[in-house]
Amino acid sequence: MFLREPSHLLLVILVLILLFGAKRLPDSARAIGKSLRIFKGELKDPNKGGEISDSDSNNESKKLDKPDQTD
């Protein structure tokens, strides 16, 4: 199994710091955490997290039903 000993974990952390730099790792971790929170929220309530709310979609459908009066 991978990462059985603490020395393996330290080696992986050292490689990550060398590859991405110490400044970029906290930003990456924040972005991953935010993405996971959004993903979990969508799994709990998929209807709640849409870009367009129900009232907005109703307004848009009303706009589509009315033809423009341009004479």
pTM higher than the cut 0.85: no
Tens of pLDDT, residues 16-49 = 889 888 888 889 889 999 999 999 999 888 777 5
- Residue pair 49/42 in contact (Cβ under 8 Å)? The answer is yes
- The answer to whether the CB of 9 falls within 8 A of the CB of 3 is yes
Residue 25, judged by CB atoms within 10 A of its CB (0-12, 13-18, 19+), counts as: middle
